[in-house]
Structure 1
Amino acid sequence: MTYTQFKEGKFNKAIFGVGSAENHGFHLPFGNDTLVSHAIAMAVAQKVEGMLVLPPVNIGVSYHYDDFPFTLTLRPEVMIEVLKDLLNSTIRQGINRIIIINGHDGNIAPIEIAARSVKVANPEAFIASLDAWWIKAGELLPQDTFEVWNGLG
């Protein structure tokens, strides 16, 4: 997106995915959590006028997967600060309605802490997060959807 496209877009809302950089077994790609959360953000933005899709956060809190090959991780306190900076930057650009689509279990608490902290400092802001899309998807999709690959979807 160019400067002109941003200005002409009349964006008043933003959405972004938060994922991880970890191994997802033999059947899913590295970065799967980021790819899925970003795809959900893109799909939402197509249906909501004035919704800007921000770049996804590609690395999350994954230290609990350190035993698996090529896991990259941020410490929880670093993740909180990264998210706070992203949220505050978005608000400074005049967009104070923000949705976070989380794609990774280790990010749930840091997202909640960051969102609450930014909301306290910016009471006019509306910050919502979908903490675990896979739970809602499990309620909406056919019962056997996640049974492939021994439940690893």
Structure 2
Amino acid sequence: MAAEIRMERMTSPEIGAAIEAGITTVVVAAGAVEQHGPHLPLFVDAEHGDRLAVEIARRLGRALVAPTIRVGWSAHHMAFPGTVSLEKETFLAVCRDYAVSLAHHGFRRVCFVPSHGGNFAPLAEARDAFNEAAGPDCSVDVYADLAEVIGVWRDVAEAEAGLGGRVGGHADVAETSIMMAMHDGIVREELAECGRLTTPEEEPELIRRVLSEEFASVTPNGILGDARGASAELGEKMIAALADRMAAHFEA
């Protein structure tokens, strides 16, 4: 059986021994608990973060996985019932405290992995502050390319199923497929539908709008893209492709 790398499932002595053995890289996912259309549960980004962090740590080797920050900055989703959001400053304070805590215990590299679109820009902007707070013996890095994430999903969807045009970045064929891969029966497949469709050229402006305005003003059903055509097989390929790309960033 493979050694456990998820810190919350390890004992304190086991973590200490891992650090002593030179396992000093730790991956931290930053997700969200927010609406994902009529067909997906609120925990999509948090659960996806759990899986991504493990996949990335395995690819990096000699790395552990910290508990996912499950609630993020989701103010733009508050028009939809059930969404839970931290203020941006609160979210960043939590992330900073994670980095400081992990550095205190001897980790020398902290890799933040956003699994919710709203967390990308704040984390990128706070990277220098995190590094200062963590101290000179610990490096803090952030994967910050949201457009690349959507591009990876679109490429996989097109290559595997001819569905690249249905990827929009939120509750779409990509996230629906990922949830199918992770949790059998969790998707309300009969409710999967089309939302706001977009093109790669339109994405930068649309991302700006959904992060600065109410999400519902852009897509009333809470979907960016089209959720139809999703499958667990497609989801597994998307998870693998994105983990490959994110791990490559941290290895560069």
TM score, norm. by length of structure 2: 0.55
State whether residues 80 and 110 of structure 1, in contact with CA within 8 Å, keep that contact through their aligned partners in structure 2. yes
**Aligned partner of 2:14: which letter?**
Q
Q: 1:136 to 1:2 in 2, by over 3 A?
A: farther
State whether residues 38 and 101 of structure 1, in contact with CA within 8 Å, keep that contact through their aligned partners in structure 2. no
Find the partner of 1:111 among 109, 123, 143. 123
Q: 1:140 to 1:44 in 2, by over 3 A?
A: farther
Q: Is 2:139 the counterpart of 1:130?
A: no
Aligned position for 2:156: 141
Shift of 1:96: 2.2
Identity %: 25
For structure 2, the residue ranges without an aligned partner over 5 or more in a row are: 1-9, 167-172, 174-192, 195-224, 228-252
Aligned position for 2:95: 83
Q: Is 2:54 the counterpart of 1:50?
A: no
For structure 1, the residue ranges without an aligned partner over 5 or more in a row are: none
State whether residues 27 and 65 of structure 2, in contact with CA within 8 Å, keep that contact through their aligned partners in structure 1. yes
Shift of 1:152: 4.6
Counterpart CA distance in 2 for 1:146 and 1:93 is 45
**Aligned partner of 2:107: which letter?**
I
Quick check: which one's helix share is greater? 2
* Count of paired positions: 153
Shift of 1:137: 2.4
State whether residues 154 and 165 of structure 2, in contact with CA within 8 Å, keep that contact through their aligned partners in structure 1. no
Q: 1:142 to 1:84 in 2, by over 3 A?
A: same
Aligned position for 1:5: 14
Alignment RMSD, CA only? Answer: 2.1
Shift of 1:70: 0.4
TM score, norm. by length of structure 1: 0.87
Shift of 1:13: 0.2
Question: More deviation in 24-33 or 116-125?
Answer: 116-125
Counterpart CA distance in 2 for 1:55 and 1:126 is 19
Q: 1:130 to 1:93 in 2, by over 3 A?
A: same
Q: 1:7 to 1:125 in 2, by over 3 A?
A: closer
Counterpart CA distance in 2 for 1:53 and 1:146 is 33
State whether residues 84 and 115 of structure 1, in contact with CA within 8 Å, keep that contact through their aligned partners in structure 2. no
Q: 1:8 to 1:146 in 2, by over 3 A?
A: farther
**Aligned partner of 1:138: which letter?**
W
